[in-house]
A and B are shown apart, each in its own frame.
Chain A
Amino acid sequence: MPHLSWHDCRVDIFVVTVGLGDKIAEEWEPLRKQRFILAVSALSLIATVAFSDANAQDKTIKIGALFPMSGPGAYFGAQDKQGVELALEQVNKEGVNGYKFTIQYEDSACAPLPASQAAKRLLDQYKPDVIIGEECSDATLAIMPIIAQAKVPLLNAGSSSIKITEPGNPYTFRILPDEVMQGVDLATQAYNKLNARTAVLLYENTNSGIGNAKVFKDTFEKLGGKIIADIGFGRDVNDFTAIATRVAGAGKADVIPTYTLEGQGLKITQALAQAGVTKGGGGSAIQLGTIWLPFGFEQKAGKAAEGYVRIVQFDPTDTRPVVKNFISAFKAKFNADPTHLNAHAYDQIMLIADAVKRGAKDAQSMRDTLAATKDFQGVTGSVEFNKHNQNIKMDTIHYMRTEPDLSWTALKWN
């Protein structure tokens, strides 16, 4: 059998396709049939490889990510991306049910208009099977109808406004405890576990700030507690001395539920301690907080944070293997401790991978499988959705108390 090179095959294809003169054809006659068979086999092989490549490409779950990557909320996007990258690295090692995961990020800028534009671009150009994001409630509320209209599931882990799941829509899922779950639980625990009977409300004048404070107020008053001051402020307030003085003059407050982001939160905690209101400043009031403040807040606030009781989205002292593995993998990859934003982004991808494991393969089956989620074990807690697609698992609400040495004690109230 003569040795055939790829070059010969190419010549053969040329002969078959273009055709040569009879003389040349005669010279090639002895080998023609054999070469033809080989050429067809080679082409079939190429076609098979191409076809299987196409199949492999088909076995891809496309994830769209709408994160704020510019503007004041850019720190959300940067940390979200870290959690996503770690999770993708892990799930793509071996794939899930033969599926690999790809992602496309769009800057949704924490505001309705850019978020809407980014969502439309994702849907039109990337055609994702599932979308994760946004962080800010205003932006999430704006993109929800657009994404639902395209019948693509949206998995949210950062926006606490109750409107996102009440009434919500069939395509929007939230793994974060909503403001009612947090507010009702916080007020109940304050009343029952801390024996609080009086409270001062401090909150930023935003969708989430007002909503969270209202839920606490309603629950606390229903239980028999009294709100002795109700203080809202803009995000542009930088000096909280006047507000702390007002709190000090309002009467004896047992607890001070505070709803702000970290920057203002630090200033409020220090101002309240300086005014001698909270435990950190020699007073008796306990500052209460929800999921707004990241890990490391106490180190920045210093002694003023002593006694602060707050809900955290991610408990790094959690001893479940899934949490320990996440922390060690995150440290190995980024040489830093993970924050709640890293953890939530990681959980979003892992929940999507879990849905794929349970049979999700496109947008509609992803929606249906996500809706049927029961007891998914994430690093921030477990997940089970109610009929409004809100995670109802209370183990996502972790209570922590700040000790004098600024360490955390997990209160294990849930």
Chain B
Amino acid sequence: MSDAVAVGPAYRSSRRRLAFLFAALVIAVLPLLLTSGYWRTNLTLCAINVLLAIGLDFILGYAGQLNLGQSAFYGLGAYVSTLLITKFGVHFWAAFAAGVAFAGLAGMILSLFAVRLRGHYLAIASLGFAVIVHQILLNWISLTQGPLGIYGIPPPPAIAIPGLPPIEFSNQVALFYLVSAFALLAYLLLDQLVRSPIGEALTAVREDEISAQSLGINANAWKVFAFGVGAAVGGAAGCFYATFVGTLVPDAFFITESFTILAMVIVGGMGTLIGPVFGAILLTLLPELLRDIGDLRLVVYGLALTLVVLFMPGGLVQGWELLRRKFAGARVAGGR
């Protein structure tokens, strides 16, 4: 088979399918390998953070919009779904859909107001939005309980499959499968979007908004669209967060959370969907893996992040590419 055929669209598509199958297999096997409750909850947290990171990457990496308000969408998803469940007795999945829709709508509204802003200005506006949402969650005590917090949030209701025992989401493994299935679905959806003409339009807006508009691309509409989709994915992460931790306090969605999510995207590799997935996993697991070194834990964590950004500005994806090329080069040299 010639090289030209090997890298053709059909080959790439089948390789992607294989990669998704492999990811599904890894998701299926991981909780069976990691049997401790601690590591299983870390896995669920990884899946939640993957949702947050790919949501932000869609806005930042593909549409080029410097959004520092992802913590707000995360919080809105969490609070809207939880309040609907606990105050109004809405079914979990209806509340989940409402949380996702509300976060997406909030993203679109923010984008509509901030559509003329770019770069640092947009960053400040989105950060301001995150501050406002945090203050609302904190001070609207009659609705959100504010700093008093909401406790004892139940897991999603069990799913009954005829002929099989019901799937209880109080079980950590079942909850991990649920959240990671959603993360995989969101990844598939975003992957399809970025590979479609929509992705090309977004990239065109990111690279040069004026040129894109001269080609008939409505830059503002696509920016609003990107914000809506990315915020909705962040909202989904929030819905899962509430049911996963069982406790909601506004400080969980303080603006610093936005920077953590941003770090996941940058460390992973902005503008690639796979990069932020690994960025999210790394930044979730690293502080946990470093617990054994005690007080130096966060120092080493910070140092690791600094080193990644210094030596691999393209993130883990860039690191992987460098390694791949090096070994490919070595193989070629060895072949000679």
Q: Which positions in A face B, CB cutoff 8 Å?
A: 69-70, 105-107, 111-113, 116-118, 120-121, 123-125, 138, 141-142, 145, 163, 205-207, 209-211, 234
Residues of chain B in range 292-324 having any CB-CB distance to chain A below 8 Å: 294-295, 297-298
Bound Cα distance from A113 to B78, whole angstroms? 14
Bound Cα distance from A163 to B39, whole angstroms? 29
B252 at the interface (CB under 8 A from A): yes
Bound Cα distance from A111 to B253, whole angstroms? 11
Which of A118, A142, A205 is within 8 Å of B246, CB to CB?
A142
Query: B13-37 interface mask toward A, CB cutoff 8 Å, 1 = contact, 0 = none?
Result: 0000000000000000000000011
The answer to whether B291 touches A205 (Cβ under 8 A) is no
Of the listed stretches B142-150, B197-205, B326-334, name the one at the interface; the rest are far from the partner chain: B142-150
Which of B41, B147, B295 is within 8 Å of A116, CB to CB?
B41
Q: What are 8 sample pairs from A and B whose C-beta atoms fall under 8 A apart?
A: A111-B252, A116-B247, A117-B45, A123-B38, A138-B147, A145-B152, A163-B151, A205-B146
Lowest 4 A-B CB distances belong to which pairs? A124-B38, A120-B38, A124-B36, A142-B247
The answer to whether A112 touches B245 (Cβ under 8 A) is yes
Which of A105, A123, A125, A142 is within 8 Å of B245, CB to CB?
A142
The answer to whether B138 touches A111 (Cβ under 8 A) is no
Bound Cα distance from A112 to B244, whole angstroms? 11
Q: A118-B291, A124-B38 are in contact. List 4 more A-B contacts (CB 8 A).
A: A111-B251, A117-B288, A205-B147, A206-B147
Residues on A with C-beta less than 8 A from B251 are 111, 138
The answer to whether B247 touches A117 (Cβ under 8 A) is no
B42 at the interface (CB under 8 A from A): yes
A113 touching B252 in the complex, CB below 8 Å, given contacts A120-B41, A124-B37, A141-B151: yes
Residues on A with C-beta less than 8 A from B151 are 141-142, 163
Which of B38, B247, B249, B295 is within 8 Å of A69, CB to CB?
B295
B139 at the interface (CB under 8 A from A): yes
The answer to whether B37 touches A106 (Cβ under 8 A) is no
B247 to chain A, nearest CB (A): 4
Closest to B254 in A: A111
The answer to whether B38 touches A125 (Cβ under 8 A) is yes
Residues of chain B in range 133-160 having any CB-CB distance to chain A below 8 Å: 135, 138-139, 141, 146-149, 151-152
Bound Cα distance from A121 to B245, whole angstroms? 15
Bound Cα distance from A163 to B149, whole angstroms? 11
B223 to chain A, nearest CB (A): 31
Bound Cα distance from A113 to B257, whole angstroms? 12
> Please, how many residues of chain B have a CB less than 8 angstroms from a CB on the other chain?
29
A170 to chain B, nearest CB (A): 16
B241 to chain A, nearest CB (A): 8
Bound Cα distance from A159 to B162, whole angstroms? 47
Which of B138, B247, B295 is within 8 Å of A112, CB to CB?
B247
Residues on A with C-beta less than 8 A from B135 are 234
- Most chain A CB within 10 A, of B42, B149, B297, is at B149
Which of A116, A121, A138, A205 is within 8 Å of B288, CB to CB?
A121
A95 to chain B, nearest CB (A): 26
Bound Cα distance from A112 to B252, whole angstroms? 8
B254 to chain A, nearest CB (A): 10
Residues on B with C-beta less than 8 A from A125 are 36, 38
The answer to whether A106 touches B247 (Cβ under 8 A) is no
Residues on A with C-beta less than 8 A from B149 are 112, 138, 141, 207
Query: B268-296 interface mask toward A, CB cutoff 8 Å, 1 = contact, 0 = none?
Result: 00000000000000000000100100110
Residues of chain B in range 149-185 having any CB-CB distance to chain A below 8 Å: 149, 151-152
A99 to chain B, nearest CB (A): 25
Bound Cα distance from A69 to B294, whole angstroms? 9
A187 to chain B, nearest CB (A): 21
Bound Cα distance from A142 to B37, whole angstroms? 16
Residues on A with C-beta less than 8 A from B146 are 205, 210
The answer to whether B246 touches A234 (Cβ under 8 A) is no
Residues on A with C-beta less than 8 A from B37 are 120, 123-124
Closest to A234 in B: B138
A230 to chain B, nearest CB (A): 13
Residues on A with C-beta less than 8 A from B45 are 113, 117
Query: B51-77 interface mask toward A, CB cutoff 8 Å, 1 = contact, 0 = none?
Result: 000000000000000000000000000
B28 to chain A, nearest CB (A): 22
Residues on A with C-beta less than 8 A from B295 are 69
Closest to B288 in A: A117
Residues on A with C-beta less than 8 A from B247 are 112, 116, 138, 141-142
Bound Cα distance from A141 to B151, whole angstroms? 8
Residues on B with C-beta less than 8 A from A210 are 141, 146-148
Which of B39, B138, B291 is within 8 Å of A107, CB to CB?
B291
Residues on A with C-beta less than 8 A from B42 are 117
The answer to whether A112 touches B36 (Cβ under 8 A) is no
